[in-house]
Amino acid sequence: MLCNSLRSRVRTGLFTALVAVVTLSAVTACGTDQSSGPSGSRDGTLSFAIQGVPNSFDPAQLIEGQTPYVWASIFDTLLYLDDDGKLQPNAAESWEISDDARTVTLHLRAGMTFTSGAPVNAAAVKATMERTKATPGTMQGWLKRVDTIETPDDRTIVLKLSRPDAGLLPALAMGPGVIGDPATMDQDRTALNPVGSGPYTLNTAETVNGTTYVLNRRDDHWNAQAYPFRTIKVRVIADRTAALNALQAGELNAGSVEATHLDRVKASGFTLTPVEGSSLVSLVIADRKGEQVPALADIRVRQAINMAFDRAKIVQQIAHGAGTPTVQTFNPKGPAYDPALEQEYPFDVERAKRLLTEAGYPDGFSVTMPETVYAKTFAPTVTQSLAAIGITVTWESVPLQQAAAAIASQRFPMVLAIDGTAPFPRDLQGFAPEHSRNPFHTTEPELTALGERYNRELDPQRADELAKQINAFTVRHAWDAPLFFITQNWVTKGGVEYIATGPRGLNSVRQFDIAK
């Protein structure tokens, strides 16, 4: 089964930015490269800001969200998710999957090199994957079902799976699909200045770690035509007002801004591109087994939490209308999303209190949550909403760079998260017991069975039906308390155009083009 028919359910319908965050194609099917580049000059500079400092560029320690704007420019990934959420070739020019969905074979394109001049080959892919599998981090869980990695020749990688995994191929278009240089991956330099095979190299003379990252295009890259800007400048600006000022001062030519500032930036000559459903704000109920907070093991308690939030009011007051209330986790542009489910949890404080009483918690209970930079905007609203039904929240400050490790440590029974929406089934893996978004490793037999059926199902129509059943289960069993989908407002100027409005899976500089 070749890649066009393979898992064709990965088709058009893990922390990014929101209101408090500044920021949150190119290959055709099965081995055919994009032959025509973007219009206009290819000597320009793209300059924008992210809010958080990249934690590391080590392939085994990558995090997603905003940091891929840098590391996905330095590294190639095996596959690529286009703007419709469809899998496309990248470093792997084609792939096949066995009829039992337990063997994935990838074929690397010829002629790729690392910036060191060393060839990109199957041995490099194997070394990177095996190192990621053996190294604790957010990437590790995505490769959990990869049992063995075989390299019958320099351009072929055979992944033997312990069980079918429909999320594996989309993951290979993200951090788990990065290819590192085996000769340098274990060196200290890898964290700050890795050797990659991607379309850009880090300009170490102009880069100031934690402040500014300058990337220079490799014109000898196999897919250089897909990258229209010669230079990329990514600045770290934590304060959104400072980022807005930088946009208006001409220091940046792209960025995402709050809805309240749109008139101001448009008057300055910026072009607006709204992206609906770009991210999800959600209260992740991580301790569904009740190990730290026994109350959370009761479905009635989790349902009460869902009823505690006036989602429409939150969208208006916090996002200034730039969003859509939701009780669903899955991408609104994907096959799992079901509009009918939006009626499951109306805002109802009294009903929520009754559910807590029925569950044996008439006086409520207490929880501790991590106050990351993303959570700060929402902390007062979450505290007030849960207090109204008897749940007391204590916030513990956690730096952004430590957030992933803190959540995985099982210290926090609930977490306020802002996740970039991803094409299904990429977002399904967040419910897997081995995934970092499920730190207490919760399982439920019915959900597990649905997921395994989906992993084995190769017929797109039946797969879509299973996707909706999975979504319905997670909503009705209140595994989380989603709040709203974010509409991200990108503004650009100076010959830059923002082109990514579909269900992309990874933030990348390929979201930008030269304005026509």
Q: How far apart are CA 33 and CA 111, in angstroms?
A: 13
Report domain extents, the chain.
Answer: 45-270+493-514, 277-487
**pLDDT computed for residue 420 by the predictor:** 79
The answer to whether 356 and 364 have CB atoms below 8 angstroms apart is yes
pLDDT at 253 over 70: yes
- Of residues 433 and 221, the one with the higher pLDDT is 221
Q: How far apart are CA 142 and CA 132, in angstroms?
A: 10
Percent with pLDDT over 90 in the chain: 71
Q: How far apart are CA 302 and CA 285, in angstroms?
A: 8
Going by pLDDT thresholds of 50, 70 and 90, the confidence category of residue 337 is very high
Q: How far apart are CA 431 and CA 408, in angstroms?
A: 14
Most confident of 27-41, 135-149, 166-180, 380-394: 380-394
The fold for domain 277-487 equals Dipeptide-binding Protein; domain 3 (3.10.105)
184: left (phi over 0), alpha (psi -120 to 50) or beta: alpha
B/e letters for 136-156, b = 16+ CB within 10 Å, e = fewer, are ebbbbbbbbbbeebebeeebb
Q: Are strands 45-50 and 231-236 parallel, antiparallel or unpaired?
A: parallel
pLDDT at 23 over 80: no
pLDDT at 5 over 60: no
Q: Which residues contact 423 (CB under 8 A, 6 or more apart)?
A: 10, 11, 12, 13, 81, 85, 86, 170, 331, 334, 503, 504, 505
pTM of full prediction above 0.75? yes
- Of residues 515 and 10, the one with the higher pLDDT is 515
Measured in degrees and rounded to the nearest 5, phi and psi for residue 45 equal -120, 135
pLDDT at 10 over 70: no
pLDDT digits (tens, 9 = 90+) for 412-443: 999 999 887 877 887 787 787 877 778 899 99
What residue type is assigned to position 362 of the chain? P
Mean pLDDT of 260-285: 92
The fold for domain 45-270+493-514 equals D-Maltodextrin-Binding Protein; domain 2 (3.40.190)
**pLDDT computed for residue 28 by the predictor:** 28
Closest CA to 372 of 51, 34, 139: 51
pLDDT at 41 over 80: no
Q: Are strands 480-492 and 323-325 parallel, antiparallel or unpaired?
A: antiparallel
Neighbours of 260 (CB within 10 A): 12
- Of residues 430 and 178, the one with the higher pLDDT is 178
Q: How far apart are CA 511 and CA 83, in angstroms?
A: 8
Tokens of 203: 């300009």
Is the bond preceding 425 in cis, omega lying within 30 degrees of 0? yes
Going by pLDDT thresholds of 50, 70 and 90, the confidence category of residue 401 is confident
**pLDDT computed for residue 504 by the predictor:** 67
Most confident of 6-20, 39-53, 265-279: 265-279
pLDDT at 451 over 50: yes
Q: Where are the alpha helices (DSSP H) in 371-491?
A: 379-387, 400-408, 445-456, 460-476
